[in-house]
Amino acid sequence: MLKRYASLAGLGSLAMVLGAWVFQYGFGMAPCAMCLWQRYPHWAAFGIGVLILLLPGLHAGHRLLAWLGALAAATTAGIGVFHTGVERTWWEGPSSCTGSGLGGLDGASLLDPSGAAPVMCDQSAGEFLMLSMPSWNALFSFALVAVWIYAATRRA
């Protein structure tokens, strides 16, 4: 049971990254810095799911890895909640990717040699059912946290 649900949760994180790539490369929605931050814990969770699937025996080790998968999913969910708050101006985001940089300029535009306008973290790329992409990431990631916790509390 543990391996089955850990694999499911790991594949869920992989699906989240693949979905982000569809929006990025298929629909031309360039990610901001915080969007990219949300992907890293998903990669970690996917890797943890693969480890659990491939490692023989190790019931206690599998449980520990499943708890780490839950932590990775919770991390990306937290970043998604924070990013949602930045987009909705509930709180300030990092000056490197919001409009609060140097006199209206931000660090990314100062460092980008191509002159391309950076994608701002405080501007939503769009919404579906009144939720932006970081909000959807947070919701799905909280669901993955539940699957990871379920896996961690099952027998190998």
- Read off the amino acid at residue 136: W
In a domain, 111, yes or no: no
In a domain, 50, yes or no: yes
What mean pLDDT, rounded, does the chain reach?
A: 83
| Residue 121 and residue 133 in contact, taking contact as beta carbons nearer than 8 Å | no
Asked whether the predicted pLDDT for residue 29 surpasses 70, the reply is yes
Give 72 or 33, the one with higher predicted confidence. 72
Rounded to two decimals, what is the model's pTM?
A: 0.80
Cα separation, 31 vs 133, whole angstroms: 10
For the segment 47-103, what is each residue's pLDDT rounded down to a tens digit?
A: 999 998 888 776 778 888 999 999 999 999 999 999 898 888 888 877 777 765 545
In a domain, 139, yes or no: yes
pLDDT for res 136:
87
Total tally of structural domains belonging to the chain: 1
In a domain, 138, yes or no: yes
Residue 78 domain boundaries: 2-91+121-152
Asked whether the predicted pLDDT for residue 130 surpasses 80, the reply is no
Alpha helices (H) in the chain, listed in sequence order:
2-21, 33-54, 59-87, 107-111, 133-152
